Amino acid sequence: MKKILFFLVVLTLLFPRASLADDTVDVYFFWANGCPHCAKESIFLDSLETKYGDDIDVHRFEVSESKENAELLASFGEQFDTEIVGVPFTVIVDEYFVGFYNDETTGAKIETKIASIIDNKPKSEDAEKVSLPIFGDINPQSFSLPLMTIILGFLDGFNPCAMWALLFLISLLLGMEDRKRMWFLGFTFIISSGAVYYLFMVAWLNLILFLGFIFWLRIIIGLVALGGGLFNLRRYFRNKNAGCDVRGVQSKKEYFAKLKKITSQDKVIWATLGIIALAFSVNLVELICSAGLPAVYSQILTINHLPLWQYYLYIFLYVLVFIIDDLLVFIIAMITLRVTGISTKYSRWSSLIGGILMLIIGILLIFKHEWLMFN
C-alpha cells in the first residue's frame, strides 16, 4: 500500500495542473497570421494580462504555420464536440469563444468568464513565487517540467546498464596505493559517461527540432515510450537479478581486461585518456539499453516550446541527476574502501516505477500531448 501511495504522489507532482489548488486561470488563444480579428483579440488579451496580472495565464497558439498547434486546436474541438471552422478560437476552462468582434461584445464575454472564475475560486493563501538563478521567477504550484526532469533523470540513473561498468572500475581502483589517482580516474569516468549522455540527448533534441513539430514523430516517440514501459515491466517481472540485458558475460570480461590494462598505466595522462575513451565506447553501447527515457524526455521538452538555451539547460539538469547515483556509489566506495552498488531491490523497483511512468507518458504523447505542455 505504501508503494501505491508513493506512486500516486509522484503522479500528482508530475501533473499539478489537474489540482484544484491551482489559482491561475488558463486562457488558450488560437490565432493565425493575417487574421485581423485575431490581432484585435491579441491586443485585448494583452490588456487583460496587464489588468489581472498573475491571476491569468494566456497561452497563444499560431495555427496557420504550426501543424502541432492545429492538431491541438482540433483536439479542443473534439473535447467540446464542436466543429472548428476558423480562428480566433478561445478556451477558458469549460467554455469556448468563437471569433472576436470587439472589446465591448466578445471581449466583455471573455472578461466576464475570467472574472467569475477569479471571484469564485477557493480562498487560500497566494502561492509565493520563488526567484531562482537562470530559471527566474517560478510558481511552486506549477513547478512541473523541472520536477519531471529530476524524476526521470533519477529513475534513468538506476539503470543497471549504467552502473556495472563503474563497479568494475571501482574494484580496480581500490587496489591502488595512490589515493589521489583513485579519485581522479573515478571522477573522470563518471564525468565522461555523463558527457556521452548529454551529447546523445542534445543530438536527439536537435533532430526533433530539425524535423519539426509533426504529428507522426510524436506518435512514433509515444510508441517508443510504450515499448520502453513494457520492456521495463518485463525486466521487473522476469529479471530477478535486475542485471543489464545488453552486455553478455564474455563482453564484460573483455571490458574488464581493457579497464585493468588502462588503470595500470604508469603515466596518469595515458590512463586518463584511456578511461575517457573507454567510458565513451561503453556508454554508447549501453544507450541501446537506456535510450528510451532520454528520447521521450527530449520530445516532452520540444512540446513545451522553450528557448534553445533552456532546452540545453534542462538536459544538463537531467544528466546531473542521472549521474548522482554513480557519484554516491563511487564516493562511498572510496571512503569505505568497499565496492558498494545499488541493490537489486532498488533497481527492480526503479524498473517498475519507470515502466509505469513510461506507459503513462506514451499514452499522453499519443492521445493527450497537451497535458505535457507545462509552460
pLDDT in tens, 133-159: 444 554 444 447 888 888 888 877 766
Mean predicted lDDT score pLDDT of the chain: 75
Tell me the sheet residues that pair with 97.
90
The reported pLDDT for the residue numbered 360 is 82
**pLDDT at 165 exceeding the cut of 60:** yes
- Of residues 101 and 364, more confidence is placed in 101
Backbone dihedral region for residue 181 (phi beyond 0: left; psi -120 to 50: alpha; all else: beta) = alpha
pLDDT tier at 132, thresholds 50, 70, 90: very low
23-125: which CATH architecture?
Answer: 3-Layer(aba) Sandwich (3.40)
pLDDT confidence of residue 4: 42
In the chain, ranges of CATH 3.40.30.10 domains: 23-125
Q: How far is CA 257 from CA 104, 164, 167, 362, in A?
A: 78, 14, 14, 40
What is the predicted pLDDT for the residue at 229?
Answer: 77
For residues 351 and 242, give the distance between their C-alpha atoms in angstroms, rounded to a whole number: 8
| Mean pLDDT computed over 155-184 | 73
Residue 78: how many other CB atoms lie within 10 Å: 10
- 94-116 per-position pLDDT tens digit: 899 999 999 999 999 999 999 88
Q: What is the pLDDT of residue 337?
A: 65
pLDDT score recorded for residue 174? 74
Dmax over CA atoms of the chain, in Å, equals 82
Per-residue confidence (pLDDT) for residue 243, from 0 to 100? 52
Residue 130 has pLDDT above 60, yes or no: no
The model's pTM: 0.55
Least Cα distance to 33 among 7, 70, 81, 6 occurs for 70
Predicted local distance difference test score (pLDDT) of residue 300: 85
What pLDDT does residue 315 have? 93
Question: Are 277 and 232 in contact, with CB atoms under 8 Å apart?
Answer: no
Lowest mean pLDDT among 33-42, 184-193, 213-222, 281-290: 281-290
Q: How many residues does the chain have?
A: 375
Q: Can you tell me the mean pLDDT for 191-199?
A: 87
What does the DSSP assignment read for 278-346?
Answer: HHHHHHHHHHHHH-HHHHHHHHHHHHT---HHHHHHHHHHHHHHHTHHHHHHHHHHHHHTS-----HHH
Collapse the DSSP code of 125 into the 3-class scheme (helix H, G, I; strand E, B; otherwise coil) and give the result.
Answer: coil
- Average pLDDT, stretch 10-20? 42
Buried b (16+ CB within 10 A) or exposed e, 265-301: eeeeeebbebbbebbeebbeebbebbebbbbbbbbbb
Torsion of CA 335, 339, 344, 348, to 10 degrees: 60
Decide: residue 124, CB within 10 A, 0-12 exposed, 13-18 middle, 19+ buried: exposed
Residues 6+ away with beta carbon under 8 Å from 36: none
What tens digit of pLDDT does each residue of 18-71 get?
333 456 888 999 999 989 999 999 999 999 988 888 889 899 999 998 888 898
Three-class DSSP category at 89: strand
Measured on CA atoms in the order 355, 145, 304, 85, is the torsion positive or negative? positive
Check residue 43 and give its pLDDT: 93
% of the chain exceeding 70 in pLDDT: 70
Q: Which residues contact 125 (CB under 8 A, 6 or more apart)?
A: none
Q: Greater confidence, 291 or 153?
A: 153
